[in-house]
Amino acid sequence: MAQFGTEFCDHIAIARFENDAWSASFIEPLKPLSLHPAAHVLHYASSCFEGFKAYRWEDGKARIFRLPGHVARMQKSAASMRLPVPDADLLSSMVIDLVASQIDNIPPPPSSLYLRPTLIGTLENIGAAAAPSSEATLFVLASPVGDYFDCGTATLKLLVEDQRARTTEQLGSTKTGGNYAAALGPTLDAKEQYGADQVLFCPDGDVQETGAANFLLISDEEIITKPLDSTFLHGMTRDSILRLAADNGYRINEKNITVDELLELVKTHEATLSGTAVCLFPVGSLVYHGDEIMVRDGRPGPNTVRLRKALQDVQCGQAPDTHGWLTEV
């Protein structure tokens, strides 16, 4: 399979917001978008997006994982970016219609169809730095995908950044491209200097998240993760793992921890990243002040493997969907 996110289905779903109203959505062949050079998004980064997956089961039907939750989060992101907020039924129907048209292009599980709804401001006005875009385009891309990380190892190495934040506090829980742009430079620097795969941002010593995923610590009895606030993305996979873990007897401990506490906890707890693209991926070591610190024995831990399988079993139809997370297409 091609590298994650580089292969696309041949159709796209689109709707537009003009004259204070959303158009009907439609599916058309995938082609470049036509944008005026003065489009708001090109100058003032008025954009937000989502990422989630659809799976094709043995019965030939597709199931979209946690569609309502992702739609609600995108609405929240749109409001945060002061973009026209798409109606939930409009966005849901765009996703469902596109998936229905692409069922034959969904690879067998655990691979999937990655779905990327995107909303961009298209108002033609380079003088609108302090004004929202009153026009917008909403589209949904579909991409057959396998694993996100291609690191050649069974675990990841994270650089612990104890000064800088991933992004600004007011946009921390918004899924917008600017947050990823802000994390890109530090992540590339960490790869070049330390061979790290990601940066774990811990501004002023407060352990938050990486540039692409939430961060969790797991033992045989508990999961420790930062409580939800405005500084980081409220991941659907994070929420799914916590709920499945609670179902399986783990104690969920949402609390703030410092870098010093983290370095002690990784002696006994597994460390892992959670996200739609990565699912649940183990961390083998941390780099802090130039020193590499092993997470337990540096190998994938049994609890990470167990919870990853529990999530994938629900997604792929190997375990019952007791939480009502799947939308059948």
**Angle, in degrees to the nearest 10, between helices 67-80 and 236-247:** 140
* Cα distance between residue 57 and residue 114, in whole Å: 15
**DSSP assignment of 157-223:** EEEEESS--SS-GGGTTS--HHHHHHHHHHHHHHHHHH--SEEEE-GGGB--EESSSEEEEE-SSEE
* Cα distance between residue 267 and residue 287, in whole Å: 14
Question: End-to-end CA distance of the chain, in Å?
Answer: 24
CA distances from 74 to 41, 98, 294 (A): 17, 18, 37
Match 């399988």 to its residue by tokens. 309
157 is catalytic: no
- Angle, vertex CA 276, rays to CA 185 and CA 113, nearest 5: 115
Residue 319 contacts residue 249 (beta carbons within 8 Å): no
Active-site residue, from 53, 61, 157, 175: 175
Q: Which residues are catalytic?
A: 175
